Amino acid sequence: MKRDITSLKELSSEEIWYLINKALSIKNANARYSDQLKGYTLGLLFDKVSTRTRLSFEVAMFRLGGNTIFVKSQDTQLSREESIKDTALVLSRYLDAIAIRTYEQGVVEDMAKWASIPVINALTDKFHPCQILSDLLTVVEKKSVLRGLKIAWVGDGNNVANSWIQAAKILGFELYLACPEGFWPARELIDPLPHNIHMSSDPEFAAKDADVLNTDVWVSMGQEGKRQEKIKAFRGFSIDKRLVSMAKKDVIVMHCLPAHRGEEISDEVMDGPNSVVFDQAENKLYMHQAILLWLLLDTKGGVY
């Protein structure tokens, strides 16, 4: 059966844990290359620039023996008003899976509706599911568990925060979010809040006794015109030495990158002993390998 990952809502708790454990086994095996996806081709259809997501998907596919084709949407007939339906039907004849990085969540969902191949959300303005899957991998790798941890998000209620909320709803861990008034996550995700998700505009509320401190840029792609407004609104929401001191001594600090050092995170924290930022970035490679194997091989055989 064809499966998609347009948001985490499409995955069960068992499936998320399967992907985490699969990615951990791939990383621990330290296998540089296999031929499990030999003859398969992944299309990368991107509207937004990318470093880690693009490279990790391309290297993941290469290590599994497959191929990737990178295409900017502006270089396709989508830029000349070809319908998503027609594009999806055609791409399904050429490719085995497609990862899409774009602005509107509806583009990914419509592509998944019409494509007969797996569609992966590689980032939209609303959700970033693959990022959170790799972030969950990092937390489990460093802490061994999820339940019983206090995972804190400090900063913008953006696409990454939205996907953290979805993950907490599915897996049941304690999630504390601190966002400035007016910059909270999507209303339909936090109204009402389940008992394990806590929302505030106080960074100290989120950081106190946290096991994980997490953040992202304050100004996302496409919001450059709001930069000065957001910089002003987010004063006090930087993960700095003071905020880290309120968390547990063995807190891990995460940032999905790219970072604006001196804004949402300080240099001394990002380069400090509690930071796992670059391990977190590396883990995208192993999670993307797990996702590709699951979508292209495991789900077709019902092995999960």
Q: 141-156, pLDDT tens digit by residue?
A: 999 999 999 999 999 9
**pTM of the predicted model as reported, rounded to 2 decimal places:** 0.94
Is residue 224 scored above 50 in pLDDT?
yes
120 alpha-carbon distance from chain centroid: 11
CA proximity to 176, closest of 143, 147, 212: 212
Residue 269, H or E segment: helix 267-270
Residue 46, H or E segment: strand 41-46
Q: What is the pLDDT of residues 236-252, one digit of tens each?
A: 999 999 999 999 999 99
CA proximity to 100, closest of 117, 81, 124, 116: 124
Q: What are the tokens at 192?
A: 């009402």
Domain-wise residue ranges, the chain: 8-127+282-301, 131-281
CATH, domain 131-281, list 3.40.640.10, 3.40.50.1370, 2.40.110.10, 3.60.9.10: 3.40.50.1370
Quick one: pLDDT at residue 223?
A: 65
- On average, the pLDDT of the chain sits at 94
Is residue 302 scored above 50 in pLDDT?
no
C-alpha–C-alpha distance, residues 215 and 221, integer Å = 16
**DSSP letter, residue 235:** T
Quick one: pLDDT at residue 303?
A: 43
Architecture field, domain 8-127+282-301: 3-Layer(aba) Sandwich (3.40)
Average confidence (pLDDT) over 257-278 = 97
Average confidence (pLDDT) over 185-203 = 96
Quick one: pLDDT at residue 30?
A: 86
